[in-house]
Chains A and B, each alone.
Chain A
């Protein structure tokens, strides 16, 4: 077979391609660096595909519009960065509780506040986990390569549709703006999942039917006339004050993700089998981590890389496993320590972080320098 044509794309453009491939036909957003190119690309490509792009008046309006569009049956996405991600938090909580599939891209930059708009950062990983109020489940994916952004965007839509939940894609300015040669998959080449729709008669339909772990989701305007609210609700979608129903409702949305970890989790392991030192890194920092492994191995240091592509839910079991064999887990991240504490919570060995928030990437040399101390 002839080798597939490679094209040079930016991470943000690859994200737009992934969304289109996954069947996204609605995008609402508000321009913000370094995510803007996702919106720009989709403003051109969505109408061509018969879909719709709208530039809303702010990020709150954008997350709201995609939830509305998704409830009307259309796969939907928004993309933003730092400050805009903060503004979306209330809407993300709504999508969690009301169980509305949608995808939120956050191309991470420096912060807090306006911070360093054109520089990379990884300081939103905890906001992704706990940014919205209340207990809730989170799925967040952390691609590190341009090609991977495309694939992970498709996976984000698939998970959102399958588990009726918002899915976040977190990558940073470095990969968002980096150009790499990638291959666009042919239609049918990678799996595309669509939400399960009800087949029962409308009078028997419950949007949160307790007989299912994840109930089928009807679309507005198709005869089901269901109710959606951000209040704690019963299986029929209407508000409740009943303590048992409230608690069970929240536990169920968390359970539906926890029970399906096998399907949701994804890691890359690189030279981990005999590693005495494990680097745990995600996003563009993992690119430096990988390079550091190669260099250190040449020096005879037994190092491996664990790279979560699903950062939330957190790969607790994998870290527990790896840390039984390793002496130390090194966690480089472009923040002053976020995921490192999660690793500490799970690891059976020493954990050490490498952190910087000066808008510069963490280099392989910086990681090697720390590892030298543990060889």
Chain B
């Protein structure tokens, strides 16, 4: 793109038109005021728009949870499945129609607790799909119980005395399981999140984006955040640091911080492409 074109774009700064991706008549959504899920959805839609993918070519699959309600609002091929099972349904869709771009929306409970086994095996296969884990550190849909991403000490409706279970590091787990693109973003850093999701979508193989998100209604209230915006400030100030900033800091300054940005990216044979080779071999053509 020429420099002039960039300048023009900046000057106009036309607000993004989300409506072309929203199904007519399907809003309002079920999310509470202040919930981070809507911010993530907007970043996702902008990323999809930039990817140039056609609506017909996207299949969005989700499990069960507040975050997993996303597919019901957007104008793609959409599949709202069972709690924890989104990745397995998505695997079937992708193998049956490899030309579809499969995007999975899943909560931290959906992906890491009940769906944990599917999560690691999907990453291991390196099947081409983008997995967005909405990590709000709580079970939102069922009213605020602790999840495998809830920090130690946090209060929830099932950890009234403070959570004693250490949380997963979703990114480390994705990488160790074999995902070939691993990144972390947050609902606060929404422009950055858009760029990360775009890269994840463009990646060939299993791409995982852990998205630090907020549930002001349950996690927030039970852990003494006065408002949704205060939770967002918490996401901004504490907890995460961008990969670039981290490079400049000594390790002791990074303790307890989660890295933001693209953390890992490699090329490895993708499952559907390998399957096509297997078919040729079986048919004696390989």
**Which residues from chain B contact A66 at a C-beta distance below 8 Å?**
92
Evaluate contact between B95 and A221: CB separation under 8 angstroms: no
Q: Mark B25-66, 1 if CB is under 8 A from A, else 0.
A: 010000000000000000000000000000111010100100
Q: How far is the CA of A228 from the CA of B90 in the complex (A)?
A: 13
B8 at the A interface (CB under 8 A) = no
Known pairs A221-B77, A238-B26; A57 contacts B96 (CB<8 A): no
Evaluate contact between A69 and B283: CB separation under 8 angstroms: no
Residue from A28, A44, A64, A229 within 8 A of B85 (CB atoms)? A64
Evaluate contact between B92 and A72: CB separation under 8 angstroms: yes
Q: Which residue of B lies closest to A65 (CB)?
A: B92
**Size range of the chain A interface in the assembly:** 35 or more
Instruction: Give the interface segment out of A48-56, A247-255, A272-280, A341-349.
Output: A48-56
Evaluate contact between A68 and B79: CB separation under 8 angstroms: yes
Q: Could you say which of B56, B59, B78, B95 has the most chain A C-beta atoms within 10 Å of its C-beta?
A: B95
Evaluate contact between B89 and A68: CB separation under 8 angstroms: yes
Interface residues contributed by chain B, number (CB under 8 Å): 40
**Which residues from chain B contact A65 at a C-beta distance below 8 Å?**
88-89, 91-92, 95
Known pairs A26-B95, A48-B283, A57-B121; A239 contacts B79 (CB<8 A): no
Residue from B76, B88, B117, B278 within 8 A of A47 (CB atoms)? B278
Residue from B26, B93, B99, B121 within 8 A of A71 (CB atoms)? B93
Evaluate contact between A220 and B82: CB separation under 8 angstroms: no
B71 at the A interface (CB under 8 A) = yes
A225 at the B interface (CB under 8 A) = yes
Residue from B61, B75, B81, B121 within 8 A of A230 (CB atoms)? B81
**Which residues from chain B contact A44 at a C-beta distance below 8 Å?**
282
Evaluate contact between B97 and A220: CB separation under 8 angstroms: yes
B260 at the A interface (CB under 8 A) = no
Residue from A58, A60, A73, A230 within 8 A of B80 (CB atoms)? A230
**Which residues from chain A contact B282 at a C-beta distance below 8 Å?**
44, 47-48
B203 at the A interface (CB under 8 A) = no
Residue from A50, A52, A64, A224 within 8 A of B95 (CB atoms)? A52
Q: How far is the CA of A65 from the CA of B117 in the complex (A)?
A: 14
Evaluate contact between A94 and B81: CB separation under 8 angstroms: yes
Evaluate contact between B89 and A67: CB separation under 8 angstroms: yes
Q: Which residue of A lies closest to B55 (CB)?
A: A225
Distance to closest chain B CB from A374 (angstroms): 48
**Which residues from chain A contact B283 at a C-beta distance below 8 Å?**
47-48, 50
A213 at the B interface (CB under 8 A) = no
Q: Which residue of B lies closest to A62 (CB)?
A: B88
Evaluate contact between B89 and A64: CB separation under 8 angstroms: yes
Q: Mark A207-234, 1 if CB is under 8 A from B, else 0.
A: 0000000000001111111111111000
B241 at the A interface (CB under 8 A) = no
Evaluate contact between A72 and B93: CB separation under 8 angstroms: yes
**Which residues from chain A contact B88 at a C-beta distance below 8 Å?**
56, 60-62, 64-65, 68
A74 at the B interface (CB under 8 A) = yes
Evaluate contact between A68 and B57: CB separation under 8 angstroms: no
Evaluate contact between B90 and A225: CB separation under 8 angstroms: no
Evaluate contact between A239 and B82: CB separation under 8 angstroms: no
Known pairs A221-B59, A223-B56, A225-B77; A74 contacts B89 (CB<8 A): no
Q: How far is the CA of A163 from the CA of B100 in the complex (A)?
A: 26
**Which residues from chain B contact A70 at a C-beta distance below 8 Å?**
92, 96
Q: How far is the CA of A48 from the CA of B56 in the complex (A)?
A: 30
Q: How far is the CA of A67 from the CA of B95 in the complex (A)?
A: 12
Known pairs A47-B283, A57-B118; A68 contacts B92 (CB<8 A): yes
Q: Could you say which of B71, B75, B81 has the most chain A C-beta atoms within 10 Å of its C-beta?
A: B81
Distance to closest chain A CB from B102 (angstroms): 9
**Which residues from chain B contact A94 at a C-beta distance below 8 Å?**
81-82
Distance to closest chain A CB from B14 (angstroms): 26
Evaluate contact between A72 and B97: CB separation under 8 angstroms: yes
Evaluate contact between B72 and A76: CB separation under 8 angstroms: no
Q: How far is the CA of A238 from the CA of B80 in the complex (A)?
A: 10
A82 at the B interface (CB under 8 A) = no
**Which residues from chain B contact A52 at a C-beta distance below 8 Å?**
95-96, 275, 279
**Which residues from chain B contact A60 at a C-beta distance below 8 Å?**
85, 88
Q: How far is the CA of A67 from the CA of B90 in the complex (A)?
A: 9
Residue from B64, B91, B97 within 8 A of A221 (CB atoms)? B97
Q: How far is the CA of A113 from the CA of B87 in the complex (A)?
A: 27
CB contact list, A64-109 vs B, under 8 A: 64-74, 76, 90-91, 94
Residue from B76, B82, B94 within 8 A of A225 (CB atoms)? B76
Evaluate contact between B57 and A227: CB separation under 8 angstroms: no
Distance to closest chain B CB from A157 (angstroms): 15
Known pairs A57-B117, A221-B56, A221-B100; A64 contacts B93 (CB<8 A): no
CB contact list, B102-140 vs A, under 8 A: 117-118, 121
**Which residues from chain A contact B56 at a C-beta distance below 8 Å?**
221-223, 225
Distance to closest chain B CB from A233 (angstroms): 10
Evaluate contact between A58 and B26: CB separation under 8 angstroms: no
Evaluate contact between A72 and B80: CB separation under 8 angstroms: no
- Further 6 A-B residue pairs, CB within 8 A, beyond A54-B91, A69-B96, A70-B92: A28-B92, A68-B91, A71-B93, A74-B97, A225-B56, A225-B75
Question: Which of A's residues lie within 8 Å of B, judged by CB?
Answer: 26, 28, 44, 47-48, 50, 52, 54, 56-58, 60-62, 64-74, 76, 90-91, 94, 219-231, 238-239
- 8 closest Cβ pairs, A-B complex: A68-B92, A64-B88, A65-B92, A72-B96, A47-B282, A69-B92, A68-B89, A69-B96
Question: Which of B's residues lie within 8 Å of A, judged by CB?
Answer: 23, 26, 55-57, 59, 61, 64, 71-72, 75-82, 85, 88-97, 99-100, 117-118, 121, 275, 278-279, 281-283
Q: Give 18 pairs: A residue, B residue, CB < 8 Å, sorted on A.
A: A28-B91, A58-B117, A61-B85, A61-B88, A64-B85, A64-B118, A66-B92, A67-B89, A69-B92, A71-B92, A72-B96, A72-B100, A225-B55, A225-B56, A227-B23, A227-B80, A238-B26, A239-B72
